[in-house]
Amino acid sequence: ADQYIDVVFHSKGNSEKQLQITDLLGQIIYTKKVNSERSIRIATNDFTAGLYFINVASGINSSTKKFVVQHSN
């Protein structure tokens, strides 16, 4: 990612989801509650270059993925 990432939700229904981005140290960088959106765009231009984890939780279900922020000069 350079300027943004797109997050697409594949869950059925309009259940509330909690989205959280953490860095390698476990510090929360970004958090958002999502309801009926099918996808959202998150700006990463203010993130320091490096590895991050994005976690999406809905009820008892949770999914974590990693992504890398690299800024072009």
54's tokens: 């994005």
Confidence at 47, pLDDT banded by 50, 70, 90? very high
pTM for the model stands at: 0.86
pLDDT at residue number 33: 93
68 pLDDT more than 80: yes
H helix runs in the chain, sequence order? none
13 pLDDT more than 70: no
Pick the closest to residue 51 from 31, 72, 26 (CA basis): 26
- Residue 17 CB coordination number (10 Å): 22
